[in-house]
Structure 1
Amino acid sequence: MSASAWRWPMVGRDVEVRTLCDAVADPGVDLVLVSGPAGVGKTRLVDSVFERLLADGRDGGRAAAGPSLSSVPLGALAHLLPVDALAVAGEGAGGVRLFAAVRDAFARPDGSRFVLVVDDIRHLDDASVSLLAQLVNARTVVVLATHRASTVLPEGVVALSNRDRSLRLDLGVLSEPDTRALLEQALGGDIAGPTERALWERSRGNPLYLRELVDGALAGGHLVQRHGLWTLEGELIGTGRLVDLVMERVERLGPDARELAALIALCAPVELTLLERGSRSATAGELERAGIATVVPHAGRPSLVIAHPLYAEVIVSHTPEAERRRLLLDHVREIEASGAIRAEDAMRRAVWRLDAGESADSDVLVRGARAARAVNDYPTTRRLAQAALDGGAGEAVVRLLGDALYELGEFEQAEVIVRAALEHATDELRIVEYAVNLRDIEFWGLNDADRAIATLREARARVTSQPFQDALRASEAMSLAYAERPQEALALLEEIGLMVPPISTMSGTAKAAALARVGRTGDAIDVARRSRDEQFRMPDPYEYNHPSLHLITLAFALIEAGSLAEASTTAQQAYAEALDIALPLNLAWGALNAASAELQAGHLLNARRWASEALALSERASLVNGMRLALTILLAADAQGGRTDELEAVLARLQALPEDPGFLREQQAVGTAWACYVLGRIGEAQDAFRTGIERAQQFGLVGSEGFLRHEAARLGWTDGWHRFDELLPRSDSTILRARADHVRAVLHRDPELLLEASTALEACGADLAAAEAAAQAADRLVDLGDTRGATKARRRADELIERCQGPHTPALAPRLGTVEPLSVREREVASLAVSGLGNREIADRLYVSKRTVDNHLQRIYTKLGVQGRAGLAEALARSHAAGDRPAPTGG
């Protein structure tokens, strides 16, 4: 697919369109000039305004200005002029006779002015400019024109534009939100956050550059749609046209300016003082005037940078390798000879030396790696740290290299390097640093929780300092909390002595997660908030963990508590913070928590969108636990939304994943059960719930057990409902109580209790479950003959359904106008019948009598409108496509 195959929409220009339309309609305005850099959308904007004016009844035409006609008298206007005017011009006559002939042709009977559009007005020939000025002065024509900024206007146009009767609109680039909107409209779907950010940063909001980048990424197969989400997989490469656009500007420069442009593209920012010493100030000015470079402040000193990142990429790609090497080394020597060396330049000079194929001082490389790590530039961190290690830097750089490899998903290599360093370390601080680093690698990267915990315990046995032991306890508690052992995590945290930063902030994440898992959600929320606040009070809040980690934990605690709207907002804030500094794992967890909150709210398309993003991020980071959770949410959202095309494939992917540390493993049952249920694999759905509930009960995961039991009840299975009586005293979760109330109300078929449960669920933000409870109340009130009450309950259900983005769940089937739903047992019997089993075999499989199966099948045939087994498979598929889902047994 090519983005050039259709006309891109215009986004973010509503104010400009209104301004231009009003200006053309204003009798006090003769010339409207839209100015801006190449590719910013001047022509597209003027075309849109002109089309609107024509649709409103104005008369107008387009001049044919262009380089090829700029030397042809009246070449731009010839196609608009009447034959007699052309004859006058052909005779060499001009002035009054020509003007009179043209004026009469352009004059409108209603006295309105002819709208003349001139694209790139700098290319108008002198004769056209002169005639245009006469027509404007006669109030016969109003001109709507574009002008490329930094180019010279014809003298006659300058004279017109300097008058009070002209309006100049300087068109800027698109903002990042407008860029996202444009991309999603052009591509016809949501776009992943990192992909949008990459496109925006590379295009800087220039619509033309943006389009060429998208075209190149599509053509190269690097921009792909997965589960409805556009994601960049690979390098972002533009088109040949984009390269030509940039090189057209560069090739106008003289040799010295091209060389300086190459230097700046390689080494920006370049201080002006260095250029002044080398007598290159005039050349720098040439680059500025051409719009290739611009002056910015850097470390308090004016410096030159290339004006657009795409210019820099193209310039570098067109600079021969030998010349690049010479420019880099000359620049390093020039800086070192000048004495203008700052500590923050260490990384840059180290990178330049490596780029030029030379070695660099290992101390400089280490400092450079630290600087790169401080801004989360992991590829550069890895490169410099590896070079430093190869140069003999030793233990000073191992943690940096391990961190970078871990964040880049190169877990096996990271483990080898860090484990070797840990085994040889004797300094206690180094032991702690390596052990914590290795724990991350083994736990999240290699998916081996037991090994990660063993690493920390072995390290703790090697250190004697209490603070160091406590730091290792905090890290172990984190592992236990996310390995479904929250009670052990909390017990271990009690062993920590004095809770001071950074131990208190590190342990806060573990404690909040563990407390949320065992049902103490209020305490979990308090700890997460307090830990984030405390981290921001540290001298360097970013030294150990990024503060967005506390937002991720807070969002999880809010989900468990039942503050779903706040949880989603908090998770998205964590995601935004991680996106700003390119933290891949924090990005994935932010997206996962947003997806989870939206799923439990019943906002199915939002859940799907965030789950798709989380899946792409987890795949890129090789985060198996993240993939599992994302696929689980995708399955549940699609099954509850009636989107069945991908269920089989996504379910197979989920079931094929390797083992991981197990965080929220029990909730995999939600996605599996919903998918199997709507696919008619009822036994598998029941087994999934049974397995998940047993796991949650085994590890004391109060919130998860309540969530799973409620999900099962939504599908008609209310076995074990009495467990809520044991769960509720152990938790302060509002949503756990609301779910328990809903299950009880379903069992008792009590409409009043169902409506109370609906209100409680809505207060938590669980709109879909609240809608189902209201719909169940309405159905029961109909049975009881309370028409007024049923109508009110239906109205409430409908209002809640509107928030849920197209739900198709069993409890809502009557509200959605679908066919009479099959019950759980009927769906099971029908599925077995379609598989080819006889009535006796079905009875044996389900431990019921043959007569019971016979009766079930007769009811199924009646509901589906078929005569017998012959049409059963097709009718089942038809009812499924129409939105039929098995009805809950208790509702």
Structure 2
Amino acid sequence: MISGDALTGRDSELTAMRRALGGTGNLAGVVIAGAAGVGKTRLAREQLAQAATTGVRTRWIVGTASARPIPLGAFSAELGDTITEPAPSVRRVIAALVGRQRAAKVLVGIDDAHLLDGFSAHVVHQLAQTREARLVVTVRSGVPAPDAIKALWKDGLLDRLDLEPLSPESTRLMVESILGGPLDARSAARFWKLTGGNALFLQQLAKDQASAGHLRQVAGVWSWPGPVAVSQSMSDLVGTQLDQLPTDLAAVVDNLSQCEPLEVELLAALVGRGNLEIAEQMHLITVERTGAALLVRLAHPLFGELRRARAGEMYLSKVRGRLACRLSADDEPQTVVRRALLTLESDLPPDPGLYLEAARHTMRLLDLDLAERFAAESAKAGVTEAVEIRAVNRFLAGRGPAAEELLRELSGDGDRDRHRWAVLRAANSIWMMADPHAAADILAALAAGPETDTERMSRYSVEAGLDAVLARCADAEQKARAALDSGLLSDSEHMLASVALMMACGALGHAEDISPAARAALDRAANSYESAHMRFWFGGVYARACRLTGRIEDCTRAAEVLSELARDMPGLAYANLVFLLGSAELMRGDLQAAARLLHEALAGVENHGITTGLRPACAFALTETHAKLGQADVAAEMLTEATRVVRPDFLFMQTGLATARGWALVAGGRLSEAIDTVLAEAKVAADRGQLTHELACLQAATQWGATEHLPEIAVRARTLAGLLRLPLADAVALHAEALHRRDGEGLLQASHAYQLLGDRATAADAAAQAAVILTGAQSRSRGLFAASIAAQLAADCGGLSTPATRTPPTPTPLTGKQREVAELVVAGLSNKQIAERTYSSVRTVEGHIYRACQRVGASSREELAEILRRGGYGTVR
């Protein structure tokens, strides 16, 4: 699992170094300056290694504290004998390094040059003045260095490169290079927070977590859900002084390791102001002013981890108890949660009331795992309301079976809020247990009994969702509106009704209602412990509605807003957020980013045992993403997962499943089957009244070039455009009509319409189809123009590889049958397999391949596949 120390995140620095070493101006090389562990030595070695591959002779010199008292100690290996007179030996060292290399320059690396003795520093300065050597010198920032070394950059002999810590993105790339696979964003942020981008710390920390088994790979994505493992090697790197601290100073670090930041006055009352001043002078802590308050933090995040790893639990329990007693007793949510957590993990007596209050705040702050801990501890003391909190919390966390256990008990006949809990139990059955029929039974039983107006609207909020799931979209919209307009719903019921309304409006094409309903739902949920967490589930539903109605920019904006709220949150909220972000990228056509985010969302589902519809939604989106990248095997794997987890009675998901199946078939070269699949689903969606679902199917078939079906597709798409009155419907109708008429200019207009909507992938397909038609009509210049648009859009998508972009524009375009056979050749099928797949003879297949080769200028079956893989637009698969 752990690989070598591949250099990552330093491309710009390597470029700057190559420029300096290339002899720009009078420069003889570069000085790399930076803090300890920032990666100076690794960067210098990489530069020398790259130079060596081009035949440059390289030498590596290291300055050390032990060699510093010895004149020319760093260069003793170059002389090979004892140095009696240092001054005359300087010329001998220079000659040894460059004398035998007059015809070509030597590249000399000097590591830790700040540790060189005076004569060795003089040698380096002299080398910089020769025209026969190039230098890469590293020095530590903020420490004394010989004058001759400082003169290297002060006198303009060498360029100075101040090496900064790795950025968060470069940190992620480095850890991924170490682990050999993608890392989820939350874990990457954790690595960066703990190391500050220090490359040496980062590498050691990653190895420590791997060795301790704290890193987990799920669905192909690495995550770090467990505690921090601290090795002796890490302790030696970060600060051995922590082990030798006097008790009073250790107490400063220990208190902050349990809770930071802390106000100076609070911490001083526990450890003494004098100890705080000494700790600040020793760079153990930092003190910053925020308004009128002085706040204390640890100088390095790893200080706290190191002390926690070495301190005893009984001692730390006492520390937490003292902190809990000192924290203010105000009702500010963050303070309540801090005090409750410190109390829970301390030697203080339990405080069930505090735990219950903290559970509500923590749910609002999106940490459902911690909320479960608080509520469970409160329930142990017999607090009835804590059981109710746990039931809601488990529902929000996507733990359907665990929520059912408590909700079944709460909705019993003797409970004062039986109706309320039965409604939530029905919602849990739909959304977390994937059992709409169980929900229908519960709701029918409630409807058969007496209900107040409030209870009836409560039931409507969930019945609307049931109707949406069963594709009864008009009923879903009617009930959801009635419930929302009543003003009688609780916060969670308001969100459930909003989800149902979003699904119904998205399917019916009522685009004008989508954004106002979304704003109302998100605004109300912002400060509610019942529904704050549901915003991210709602975001995924909103994304689907936006895609169905062509509101890609609205979806992107919503993703950006929500991403600021849950980037550091564990569990379902983060998984839903990453799905939303990935969906937005897929809609925009950034396929590489979409693949990364959607795989991370799927890993979140696996990691947290989530039982919601997020799993099939991820599988649908990943199937499409990998198919558009031409990755047939991965697309097929994701389709298998989607098929496994989608229940037949979840009718609202059937269009997503059908289009995902179509994309997987397309990636495998099975065009006819793909087109038949989505057109069959289009008819079903039309019968259900899901007009935008039908439109999505027609759009996909048009993208894939459904030649035989284009007359009816064009007519129906134009009808839908009149019914829906959406820019997306107009674009699909224009696309289908232009392709049917073989109107290249019309296809360019369709491409432009898709670009205005933000859909670069479909725009690329339409432009590629235009290029084929225009070139075939002998309109060479317009064909080249269309091809250039398709090429740019495909590149912007990160390597789009679809049937349209794989079809090269030639004077004699491929026929529909030739293109279908050629796609199967690309997919790797033999002639016999193609014959079986297309219900034709092998000889017929050979004829189609021969004529396809003639039309694209290929001399063999292999060349035909290669030409179609490139297509002139995307990248080779």
What's the TM-score once normalised by structure 2's chain length?
0.78
Aligned to 2:662: 673
C-alpha contact (below 8 Å) 2:260/2:297 kept by paired residues: yes
SS of 1:294 mapped into structure 2 = strand
Q: Aligned in 2, Cα 1:858/1:316: closer, same or farther, shift over 3 Å?
A: same
Deviation at 1:390, TM superposition (A): 0.6
Aligned to 1:757: 750
Aligned to 1:232: 223
Q: In 1, Cα distance between the equivalents of 2:267 and 2:793?
A: 66
Aligned to 1:369: 359
Deviation at 1:23, TM superposition (A): 15
**After alignment, is 181-190 or 406-415 more displaced?**
181-190
Q: In 2, Cα distance between the equivalents of 1:857 and 1:62?
A: 65
C-alpha contact (below 8 Å) 1:575/1:586 kept by paired residues: no
Q: In 2, Cα distance between the equivalents of 1:838 and 1:361?
A: 71
Aligned to 2:39: 41
Aligned to 2:875: none
Q: In 2, Cα distance between the equivalents of 1:238 and 1:470?
A: 51
Aligned to 1:618: 605
Aligned to 1:889: none
Structure 2 letter corresponding to 1:305: R
1:667-716 per-residue CA deviation (whole Å, 9 max, x = no partner) reads 11112123235546678646643563344234321111111123234252
1:441-478 per-residue CA deviation (whole Å, 9 max, x = no partner) reads 33332123344466567678999775675455445435
Alignment map for 1:454-533 (pairs within 5 Å) = 470=457, 473-474=460-461, 476-478=463-465, 480-481=467-468, 484-496=471-483, 497-498=485-486, 507-529=497-519, 532=522
Deviation at 1:877, TM superposition (A): 9.9
C-alpha contact (below 8 Å) 2:732/2:750 kept by paired residues: yes
1:641 paired with 2:629, answer yes
Aligned to 1:295: 287
Structure 2 letter corresponding to 1:77: A
Q: In 2, Cα distance between the equivalents of 1:573 and 1:87?
A: 69
SS of 2:4 mapped into structure 1 = helix
1:863 paired with 2:852, answer no
Structure 2 letter corresponding to 1:643: Q
1:815 paired with 2:808, answer yes
Q: In 2, Cα distance between the equivalents of 1:436 and 1:276?
A: 52
Q: In 2, Cα distance between the equivalents of 1:23 and 1:285?
A: 50
Structure 1 letter corresponding to 2:194: R
Aligned to 1:401: 390
Aligned to 1:250: 242
What's the TM-score once normalised by structure 1's chain length?
0.76
Aligned to 1:718: 709
SS of 2:85 mapped into structure 1 = helix
Deviation at 1:387, TM superposition (A): 0.3
1:819-846 per-residue CA deviation (whole Å, 9 max, x = no partner) reads 9874588699999x9898999xx8xx99
C-alpha contact (below 8 Å) 2:539/2:576 kept by paired residues: no
Structure 2 letter corresponding to 1:764: L
**After alignment, is 54-63 or 205-214 more displaced?**
54-63
1:88 paired with 2:93, answer no
Alignment map for 1:51-66 (pairs within 5 Å) = 64-66=62-64
C-alpha contact (below 8 Å) 2:471/2:651 kept by paired residues: yes
Deviation at 1:627, TM superposition (A): 2.0
**After alignment, is 737-746 or 9-18 more displaced?**
9-18
Q: Which of these residues, 729, 734, 756, is aligned with residue 722 of structure 2? A: 729
Q: Which of these residues, 179, 185, 195, is aligned with residue 187 of structure 2? A: 195
Q: Aligned in 2, Cα 1:138/1:876: closer, same or farther, shift over 3 Å?
A: closer
Aligned to 1:264: 256
SS of 1:545 mapped into structure 2 = coil
C-alpha contact (below 8 Å) 1:813/1:820 kept by paired residues: no
**After alignment, is 364-373 or 404-413 more displaced?**
404-413
* Residue ranges of structure 2 left out of the alignment (5+ in a row): 852-859, 872-877
Q: In 2, Cα distance between the equivalents of 1:46 and 1:289?
A: 33
> What is the aligned length?
837
Q: Which of these residues, 391, 394, 405, is aligned with residue 416 of structure 1? A: 405
SS of 2:315 mapped into structure 1 = helix
* Residue ranges of structure 1 left out of the alignment (5+ in a row): 90-95, 847-852, 867-874, 887-891
Alignment map for 1:425-436 (pairs within 5 Å) = 432=420, 434=421
Aligned to 2:546: 558
C-alpha contact (below 8 Å) 1:62/1:118 kept by paired residues: yes
C-alpha contact (below 8 Å) 1:85/1:102 kept by paired residues: no
Alignment map for 1:521-600 (pairs within 5 Å) = 521-529=511-519, 532=522, 535=524, 540=527, 544-545=531-532, 552=540, 555-564=543-552, 566-567=553-554, 569-570=556-557, 572-574=559-561, 576-582=563-569, 584-599=571-586
1:744-768 per-residue CA deviation (whole Å, 9 max, x = no partner) reads 3334444454444344334333444
C-alpha contact (below 8 Å) 1:761/1:767 kept by paired residues: yes
SS of 1:34 mapped into structure 2 = strand
Q: Aligned in 2, Cα 1:625/1:827: closer, same or farther, shift over 3 Å?
A: farther
SS of 1:235 mapped into structure 2 = coil
Q: In 2, Cα distance between the equivalents of 1:148 and 1:105?
A: 30
Alignment map for 1:141-220 (pairs within 5 Å) = 146-147=139-140, 153=144, 172-180=164-172, 182-183=174-175, 191-217=183-209
Deviation at 1:363, TM superposition (A): 0.9
C-alpha contact (below 8 Å) 1:107/1:140 kept by paired residues: no
Aligned to 2:369: 379
**After alignment, is 44-53 or 255-264 more displaced?**
44-53
Aligned to 1:312: 304
Q: In 2, Cα distance between the equivalents of 1:143 and 1:248?
A: 30
Q: Which of these residues, 627, 652, 671, is aligned with residue 615 of structure 2? A: 627
Q: Aligned in 2, Cα 1:117/1:436: closer, same or farther, shift over 3 Å?
A: farther
Deviation at 1:66, TM superposition (A): 3.0
SS of 2:808 mapped into structure 1 = coil
SS of 1:295 mapped into structure 2 = strand
SS of 2:286 mapped into structure 1 = strand
Q: Which of these residues, 582, 585, 592, is aligned with residue 605 of structure 1? A: 592
C-alpha contact (below 8 Å) 1:39/1:208 kept by paired residues: yes
Structure 2 letter corresponding to 1:40: V
Structure 1 letter corresponding to 2:193: E
SS of 2:287 mapped into structure 1 = strand
SS of 1:86 mapped into structure 2 = coil
Deviation at 1:735, TM superposition (A): 1.6
1:365-408 per-residue CA deviation (whole Å, 9 max, x = no partner) reads 1123233333222222111110011112211x234323443454
Query: What RMSD, in angstroms, separates the aligned Cα atoms of the two structures?
Result: 5.4
**After alignment, is 46-55 or 707-716 more displaced?**
46-55
Q: In 2, Cα distance between the equivalents of 1:131 and 1:640?
A: 59
Q: Aligned in 2, Cα 1:464/1:864: closer, same or farther, shift over 3 Å?
A: closer
Q: In 2, Cα distance between the equivalents of 1:836 and 1:477?
A: 52
Q: In 2, Cα distance between the equivalents of 1:375 and 1:412?
A: 24
Alignment map for 1:688-707 (pairs within 5 Å) = 688-689=677-678, 692-707=681-696
